[in-house]
Structure 1
Amino acid sequence: MTSTLSKLMNPAHKSVARMIGYSLTLGDFDGWQRFAALILARLSDRGRLGLAWAALTALDPEQIRQVTNTVLGGAGTPGVAFTDDHDEAALWANMATDDELRAYAWVTFNRLSPKEQADFLDATRGRDAA
Protein backbone atom coordinates (compact mmCIF):
# COMPACT_ATOMS: atom_id res chain seq x y z
CA MET A 1 0.00 0.00 0.00
CA THR A 2 1.42 3.37 -1.01
CA SER A 3 0.89 6.32 1.32
CA THR A 4 -0.64 9.55 0.11
CA LEU A 5 2.59 11.42 0.83
CA SER A 6 4.56 8.92 -1.25
CA LYS A 7 2.19 9.50 -4.18
CA LEU A 8 2.79 13.26 -3.91
CA MET A 9 6.58 13.08 -3.56
CA ASN A 10 8.80 14.34 -6.33
CA PRO A 11 10.32 11.30 -8.13
CA ALA A 12 13.81 12.78 -7.69
CA HIS A 13 13.25 12.95 -3.93
CA LYS A 14 12.09 9.32 -3.90
CA SER A 15 15.27 8.22 -5.65
CA VAL A 16 17.37 10.17 -3.13
CA ALA A 17 15.49 8.55 -0.23
CA ARG A 18 16.10 5.08 -1.67
CA MET A 19 19.75 5.81 -2.37
CA ILE A 20 20.45 7.02 1.17
CA GLY A 21 19.08 3.70 2.39
CA TYR A 22 21.38 1.82 0.02
CA SER A 23 24.38 3.94 1.08
CA LEU A 24 23.67 3.38 4.78
CA THR A 25 23.32 -0.35 4.17
CA LEU A 26 26.57 -0.59 2.20
CA GLY A 27 28.38 1.75 4.60
CA ASP A 28 31.41 2.15 2.35
CA PHE A 29 33.09 4.99 0.46
CA ASP A 30 31.73 3.92 -2.94
CA GLY A 31 28.16 3.95 -1.65
CA TRP A 32 28.53 7.46 -0.24
CA GLN A 33 30.33 8.67 -3.35
CA ARG A 34 27.44 7.42 -5.49
CA PHE A 35 24.98 9.08 -3.11
CA ALA A 36 26.87 12.38 -3.51
CA ALA A 37 26.69 12.08 -7.31
CA LEU A 38 22.97 11.33 -7.16
CA ILE A 39 22.08 14.27 -4.92
CA LEU A 40 24.15 16.58 -7.12
CA ALA A 41 22.08 15.45 -10.10
CA ARG A 42 18.67 15.22 -8.42
CA LEU A 43 18.51 17.91 -5.73
CA SER A 44 18.53 21.69 -5.82
CA ASP A 45 21.17 23.69 -3.98
CA ARG A 46 18.60 24.23 -1.22
CA GLY A 47 18.00 20.48 -0.90
CA ARG A 48 21.71 19.67 -0.74
CA LEU A 49 22.31 22.47 1.76
CA GLY A 50 19.49 21.13 3.92
CA LEU A 51 20.97 17.64 3.91
CA ALA A 52 24.42 19.00 4.74
CA TRP A 53 23.03 21.14 7.56
CA ALA A 54 21.13 18.20 9.05
CA ALA A 55 24.17 15.91 8.87
CA LEU A 56 26.60 18.48 10.31
CA THR A 57 24.34 19.45 13.21
CA ALA A 58 24.23 15.76 14.19
CA LEU A 59 28.04 15.69 14.61
CA ASP A 60 30.29 16.94 17.40
CA PRO A 61 32.81 19.72 16.55
CA GLU A 62 35.76 17.32 16.13
CA GLN A 63 33.78 15.16 13.69
CA ILE A 64 32.81 18.30 11.75
CA ARG A 65 36.51 19.27 11.50
CA GLN A 66 37.39 15.77 10.28
CA VAL A 67 34.67 15.85 7.61
CA THR A 68 35.49 19.35 6.39
CA ASN A 69 39.23 18.65 6.31
CA THR A 70 38.55 15.49 4.28
CA VAL A 71 36.25 17.28 1.85
CA LEU A 72 38.13 20.57 1.51
CA GLY A 73 41.66 19.36 2.16
CA GLY A 74 44.26 21.29 4.05
CA ALA A 75 45.96 24.50 3.08
CA GLY A 76 49.18 22.80 2.05
CA THR A 77 52.46 24.65 2.30
CA PRO A 78 52.21 28.38 3.01
CA GLY A 79 52.76 30.39 -0.15
CA VAL A 80 55.14 33.23 -0.84
CA ALA A 81 54.07 36.46 0.89
CA PHE A 82 53.22 39.06 -1.76
CA THR A 83 51.74 41.50 0.74
CA ASP A 84 52.17 41.87 4.48
CA ASP A 85 53.59 38.70 6.10
CA HIS A 86 50.99 38.77 8.89
CA ASP A 87 48.10 39.02 6.40
CA GLU A 88 49.48 36.12 4.36
CA ALA A 89 50.01 34.04 7.51
CA ALA A 90 46.46 34.76 8.71
CA LEU A 91 45.03 33.78 5.32
CA TRP A 92 46.99 30.51 5.32
CA ALA A 93 46.06 29.73 8.95
CA ASN A 94 42.37 30.15 8.15
CA MET A 95 42.64 27.38 5.54
CA ALA A 96 45.06 25.07 7.36
CA THR A 97 44.06 21.86 9.10
CA ASP A 98 44.71 21.47 12.81
CA ASP A 99 47.62 19.12 12.05
CA GLU A 100 49.17 21.68 9.68
CA LEU A 101 48.77 24.46 12.25
CA ARG A 102 50.45 22.40 14.98
CA ALA A 103 53.29 21.29 12.72
CA TYR A 104 54.13 24.77 11.42
CA ALA A 105 53.71 26.39 14.86
CA TRP A 106 56.07 23.87 16.47
CA VAL A 107 58.73 24.07 13.77
CA THR A 108 58.48 27.86 13.48
CA PHE A 109 58.77 28.37 17.24
CA ASN A 110 61.82 26.09 17.40
CA ARG A 111 63.44 28.00 14.52
CA LEU A 112 63.29 31.28 16.49
CA SER A 113 66.32 32.41 18.47
CA PRO A 114 66.18 31.86 22.24
CA LYS A 115 65.49 35.59 22.74
CA GLU A 116 62.67 35.56 20.16
CA GLN A 117 61.20 32.46 21.82
CA ALA A 118 61.29 34.21 25.21
CA ASP A 119 59.73 37.37 23.73
CA PHE A 120 57.00 35.28 22.10
CA LEU A 121 56.23 33.44 25.34
CA ASP A 122 56.18 36.73 27.29
CA ALA A 123 53.77 38.22 24.74
CA THR A 124 51.41 35.25 24.90
CA ARG A 125 51.47 34.56 28.67
CA GLY A 126 48.24 35.41 30.40
CA ARG A 127 46.24 35.52 27.18
CA ASP A 128 43.17 33.34 26.95
CA ALA A 129 43.28 30.63 24.31
CA ALA A 130 41.16 31.47 21.28
Structure 2
Amino acid sequence: MSRMLGYTLTLGTPDAWSDFRFVAIARMTKAERAMLACSALTSLDADTAAMTAAAAIGAAGSPLPPFLGGMDDARSWASWASRNELKAYALAAFEAMTPRDQAAFFHHISNIEVAA
Protein backbone atom coordinates (compact mmCIF):
# COMPACT_ATOMS: atom_id res chain seq x y z
CA MET A 1 0.00 0.00 0.00
CA SER A 2 2.84 2.39 0.71
CA ARG A 3 4.18 1.90 -2.83
CA MET A 4 0.69 2.37 -4.26
CA LEU A 5 0.33 5.63 -2.33
CA GLY A 6 3.69 6.77 -3.68
CA TYR A 7 2.68 5.96 -7.25
CA THR A 8 -0.63 7.76 -6.77
CA LEU A 9 1.03 10.86 -5.34
CA THR A 10 3.60 10.86 -8.16
CA LEU A 11 0.94 10.65 -10.86
CA GLY A 12 -1.55 12.85 -9.02
CA THR A 13 -4.34 12.23 -11.53
CA PRO A 14 -8.00 11.44 -10.81
CA ASP A 15 -7.49 8.03 -12.44
CA ALA A 16 -4.53 7.30 -10.15
CA TRP A 17 -6.62 8.17 -7.08
CA SER A 18 -9.48 6.02 -8.36
CA ASP A 19 -7.07 3.12 -8.78
CA PHE A 20 -5.74 3.77 -5.26
CA ARG A 21 -9.27 3.44 -3.95
CA PHE A 22 -9.72 0.01 -5.56
CA VAL A 23 -6.39 -1.26 -4.23
CA ALA A 24 -7.17 0.12 -0.77
CA ILE A 25 -10.48 -1.74 -0.74
CA ALA A 26 -8.69 -4.96 -1.67
CA ARG A 27 -5.65 -4.60 0.61
CA MET A 28 -6.78 -2.64 3.66
CA THR A 29 -9.35 -3.40 6.34
CA LYS A 30 -12.36 -1.16 6.81
CA ALA A 31 -10.82 0.12 10.06
CA GLU A 32 -7.54 0.96 8.31
CA ARG A 33 -9.35 2.83 5.54
CA ALA A 34 -11.43 4.71 8.13
CA MET A 35 -8.32 5.78 10.03
CA LEU A 36 -6.65 6.86 6.78
CA ALA A 37 -9.71 8.94 5.89
CA CYS A 38 -9.86 10.42 9.39
CA SER A 39 -6.17 11.29 9.35
CA ALA A 40 -6.45 12.89 5.92
CA LEU A 41 -9.55 14.93 6.87
CA THR A 42 -8.07 16.16 10.14
CA SER A 43 -5.00 17.38 8.26
CA LEU A 44 -7.22 19.90 6.42
CA ASP A 45 -8.80 23.13 7.61
CA ALA A 46 -12.40 22.71 8.81
CA ASP A 47 -14.09 24.11 5.68
CA THR A 48 -12.04 21.99 3.27
CA ALA A 49 -12.53 18.89 5.44
CA ALA A 50 -16.30 19.42 5.54
CA MET A 51 -16.51 19.96 1.76
CA THR A 52 -14.33 16.91 1.12
CA ALA A 53 -16.37 14.67 3.42
CA ALA A 54 -19.62 15.95 1.90
CA ALA A 55 -18.34 15.21 -1.61
CA ALA A 56 -17.24 11.72 -0.56
CA ILE A 57 -20.60 10.76 0.94
CA GLY A 58 -22.69 12.57 -1.65
CA ALA A 59 -24.23 15.18 0.64
CA ALA A 60 -26.63 17.65 -0.93
CA GLY A 61 -25.84 20.65 1.26
CA SER A 62 -28.41 23.16 2.37
CA PRO A 63 -31.64 23.29 0.36
CA LEU A 64 -31.95 26.24 -2.01
CA PRO A 65 -34.86 28.67 -1.71
CA PRO A 66 -37.86 27.38 -3.68
CA PHE A 67 -38.11 28.70 -7.22
CA LEU A 68 -41.69 27.77 -8.11
CA GLY A 69 -43.98 26.54 -5.36
CA GLY A 70 -41.45 24.59 -3.37
CA MET A 71 -42.53 20.94 -3.55
CA ASP A 72 -40.63 20.09 -6.76
CA ASP A 73 -37.54 21.87 -5.43
CA ALA A 74 -37.83 20.07 -2.09
CA ARG A 75 -38.18 16.67 -3.77
CA SER A 76 -35.22 17.41 -6.03
CA TRP A 77 -33.04 18.40 -3.06
CA ALA A 78 -34.19 15.35 -1.09
CA SER A 79 -33.15 13.04 -3.91
CA TRP A 80 -29.54 14.24 -3.46
CA ALA A 81 -29.47 14.61 0.32
CA SER A 82 -27.68 12.20 2.62
CA ARG A 83 -29.59 10.25 5.26
CA ASN A 84 -28.31 12.57 8.01
CA GLU A 85 -29.33 15.68 6.04
CA LEU A 86 -32.82 14.27 5.43
CA LYS A 87 -33.30 13.50 9.12
CA ALA A 88 -31.95 16.88 10.29
CA TYR A 89 -34.01 19.00 7.90
CA ALA A 90 -37.16 16.90 8.37
CA LEU A 91 -37.00 17.31 12.15
CA ALA A 92 -36.17 21.02 11.95
CA ALA A 93 -39.02 21.63 9.50
CA PHE A 94 -41.46 19.69 11.68
CA GLU A 95 -40.40 21.59 14.80
CA ALA A 96 -40.86 24.92 12.99
CA MET A 97 -44.48 24.10 12.03
CA THR A 98 -47.44 25.40 13.95
CA PRO A 99 -49.18 22.81 16.15
CA ARG A 100 -52.02 22.64 13.63
CA ASP A 101 -49.61 21.97 10.73
CA GLN A 102 -47.76 19.40 12.84
CA ALA A 103 -51.03 17.57 13.47
CA ALA A 104 -51.92 17.66 9.77
CA PHE A 105 -48.45 16.42 8.83
CA PHE A 106 -48.64 13.63 11.42
CA HIS A 107 -52.07 12.62 10.04
CA HIS A 108 -50.64 12.61 6.50
CA ILE A 109 -47.66 10.39 7.34
CA SER A 110 -49.82 8.09 9.47
CA ASN A 111 -51.89 7.23 6.39
CA ILE A 112 -48.90 6.36 4.20
CA GLU A 113 -47.85 2.73 4.02
CA VAL A 114 -44.17 2.53 4.87
CA ALA A 115 -42.05 -0.09 3.08
CA ALA A 116 -39.99 -2.17 5.48
| TM tier relative to shorter chain | 0.5 to 0.7
Q: Deviations over 1:4-34 (max 9, x none)?
A: xxxxxxxxxxxxxxxxx4368xxxxx77x74
Q: What 5-or-longer segments of structure 2 have no aligned partner? A: 31-52
Tell which structure's C-alpha radius of gyration is larger.
1
Q: CA distance change for structure 1 residues 102 and 35 in 2, over 3 Å: closer, same or farther?
A: farther
- The match for 1:93 among 78, 82, 103 is 78
Are 1:22 and 2:2 an aligned pair?
A: yes
| Mapping of residues 2-13 of structure 1, within 5 Å | none
Are 1:128 and 2:114 an aligned pair?
A: yes
TM superposition outliers: structure 1 runs of 4+ over 4 Å: none
Q: Alpha-carbon deviation of 1:39?
A: 6.4
Q: Alpha-carbon deviation of 1:37?
A: 3.8
Q: Deviations over 1:43-76 (max 9, x none)?
A: 9xxxx6xx5xxx6xxx9xxxxxxxx955254211
- The match for 1:40 among 15, 31, 37 is 15
**Alpha-carbon distance in structure 1 between the residues aligned to 2:57 and 2:11:** 15
The aligned length equals: 89
Q: CA distance change for structure 1 residues 72 and 34 in 2, over 3 Å: closer, same or farther?
A: farther
**Alpha-carbon distance in structure 1 between the residues aligned to 2:83 and 2:96:** 20
Q: What 5-or-longer segments of structure 1 have no aligned partner? A: 1-20, 25-29, 60-67
- Other structure's SS at 2:63 match: coil
Q: Alpha-carbon deviation of 1:122?
A: 0.9
- Other structure's SS at 1:108 match: helix
After TM superposition, the score normalised by the length of structure 2 is 0.53
**Alpha-carbon distance in structure 2 between the residues aligned to 1:101 and 1:75:** 10
Asked if the contact 2:57/2:82 (under 8 Å) is kept, the reply is no
- Other structure's SS at 1:80 match: coil
Q: CA distance change for structure 1 residues 118 and 129 in 2, over 3 Å: closer, same or farther?
A: farther
Q: Percent identity?
A: 29
Q: CA distance change for structure 1 residues 102 and 36 in 2, over 3 Å: closer, same or farther?
A: farther
Asked if the contact 1:23/1:35 (under 8 Å) is kept, the reply is no
Question: Which AA in structure 2 matches 1:22?
Answer: S
